[in-house]
Structures are given as structure tokens and as C-alpha cells.
Amino acid sequence: MRETALLGRALGIALTLLAAPTVLHAQSTPGALAESTATLARGEWPAYAGTYAAAHYSPLTQIDRTNARDLHVAWHWKSPDHAVRSADPRIGPSRANEASPLMVGGVLYTSTSLSQVAAIDAVSGETKWVFDPKVYQNGLGIPANDGWLHRGVAYWRNGDDERIVILTAFAQMIALDAKTGKPIPTFGNNGRLDLAEGLRRPVDRDYYTMSSPPVIVRGVIIAGSSVMDWWGHRPSPPGDVRGFDVVTGRLLWTFHTVAQAGDPGVETWQNGSWKETGNTNVWAPMSADEELGYVYLPVSTPTNDYYGGDRRATASMAKAWSASTR
């Protein structure tokens, strides 16, 4: 594992309170899924925002302003969460369904509010398979921040190897066979990784969650986290961003969003507050440049949100951070 921190461009605000996204560089893996933009012309939607560049745009022309009024509902799909909640009302409600389905090869891939994963026939609406990690049975109650909420999954392929990757509400990374919905036995521990482990300090699992899909760039799964906002206790869970090998699940690198000992800018954290400050996490979906191998991180605020009493307002604080996995 390699950890690198390099000074980036000045933003005019405190370190880690970033007005522009942080940039990470992923190494190349030959034979992986081609650029997501190339699949849009085939009518596919292989990433959360269409492409990892987050274009939110389809080049297809079949539907336009002249015929959009003729669209009608072809089918409805019922989330498997309904059956789970009917069997155990103690699980609690979901605020909303915020998942954006992917579409590859005529199949939709989506997550549910309870971190279930489903494959759906795009033409008929028929469910092909459902994987339930049963995160609601772990005894931790309702996830922090927005409760039962999930935004989607990531897709990757290399030849005949097609995978769906989900980051569950309680910080598990699970790699599934896209054809069967079964965990990949050679990935991590029988298809799973516990992302609450391996951080620079132990975390309280009640306050460390995940709700957005990762990005997969050049064979590297890049995962952020959702840390409880407004939490006044210290130390707070760190918002470190990590890269994992998409084939094996091996940890490749860790990017510290708060400067650590020996990093440029660590002296701006007054009274050694960098040792306990956490959050500074990436809870929202990330974007990436697949040609360059860069990922762009929308980093949130440090512990205690807008309070910056432990961060001196020096020029060196107004720096973005970038890391290289090479």
C-alpha cells in the first residue's frame, strides 16, 4: 500500500473545506471496461451519471421534443424492500428512493434503500435476481444522517467477467457476479470487505456509513464514506478515501483528507487537532476522467462542520490535496 499527499492549487479557503474537488490518479489495468462514453451511443447507461465524467447526458435521438408526449408507462417495478419491511416493521421507513439504475446489455442494475441489489430486464421489468446483504440485521439500527437511503451501484467488466459493486449502508463493499447476483468468492472475504476496518483509528459503526456508489477507474474501486454530521465527540471517524483492486479487493492506497504527521499543512491544525479531527469525507457521488485516470472528490467539511477554531487561517491552509497511486 502506498500513501502520497501532494500540494495542489490554492483555493482561498481552509484545508479540506474544498470549493473544488480533490484529484486522485488511478493506475491502468489492461483489458478493463472501455470508456463509459463509448457505451452511451449503444443506449447504455454504465455509470451513476451516465459516464464517470458525470455528464448526465445521453446522445440518443429516438426521443425528442416532437414525440416525448407519446411516452407512456410500460411497466412498474416493486422494490424488494417492501417484503422485508412487511416481515419486520422495526426496520423503519426510508425517506426516499434515490438510486439511479445502470443499464448494460439490456439489464438494469439498481440498489434499494436497504442496500439490496437487483437486476431487472429493461424491456419487461421482470426481476432477474435480487441480492440482499441483510444489513438491517446487524443490530446498529438506522444509518446515520439520512437513514435508509442509497444512491446506486457501480459496474465493471473485463471480457466475460462482469461485476456489480455496492457500498452498503453499514460500510461493506460487496462485489457481485452481474449475471447471477452471487458474491465473487475470490474478492475480499467471499465477496465482501469491511470498510469500517483498516482506517487509521477505530470508528464507531453507528456513525460511519455509505450511501453513494464508488467509481471504478482503470481497475481501481474508489470508495468514499458518509460520516455523521454535527457529531461533537472526538475522535471522529476519518473520511479517508481508499482505492481497492477490482479483481481481488486488495487495498491499493489510502488518501488522507486531513493532513497527517509529515504532510504539508499539518502545522496549520492547531494543538495537534489533526489527530482527532475526522469527517472531511466524500459522501456524494464522485466523477472521473477515464483517459487521464483521475478521480475528482467532492469533499465535505471537517468535524463539527463550519467551526474552524483549531485551524489557523494561514496561506498554507488554502491548499487542495492530490494523490497518485503510481
**Read out DSSP for 201-213?**
S---GGGEE--S-
Q: Residue 23 domain-assigned?
A: yes
CATH number assigned to the domain comprising residue 288:
2.140.10.10
- Burial tier of 225 (Cβ tally within 10 Å: 0-12, 13-18, 19+): buried
Predicted confidence at residue 144, as pLDDT, reads 72
Predicted confidence at residue 116, as pLDDT, reads 96
Q: Residue 42 domain-assigned?
A: yes
Q: Residue 302 domain-assigned?
A: yes
Predicted confidence at residue 276, as pLDDT, reads 67
Q: Residue 58 domain-assigned?
A: no
Reported as a single tens digit per residue, the pLDDT across 133-176 is 999 887 777 777 777 889 999 999 999 999 999 999 888 999 99
> Which residues fall within 8 angstroms of residue 302, CB to CB, at 6 or more apart?
16, 17, 258, 277, 278, 279, 280, 308, 311
Q: Residue 70 domain-assigned?
A: no
β pairing state of 6-10 and 319-324: antiparallel
Predicted confidence at residue 305, as pLDDT, reads 60
Q: Residue 59 domain-assigned?
A: no
Q: How far apart are CA 112 and CA 310, in angstroms?
A: 39
Predicted confidence at residue 239, as pLDDT, reads 82
- Burial tier of 6 (Cβ tally within 10 Å: 0-12, 13-18, 19+): middle
Q: Residue 82 domain-assigned?
A: no
Cis peptide leading into residue 101 (ω within 30°): no
Q: How far apart are the first and last CA of the chain?
A: 11
Domain span at residue 292?
6-52+96-324
- The structural domain count of the chain equals 1
Q: Residue 247 domain-assigned?
A: yes
* Low-confidence residues of the chain: pLDDT under 70: 1-37, 230-233, 274-276, 278, 303-326
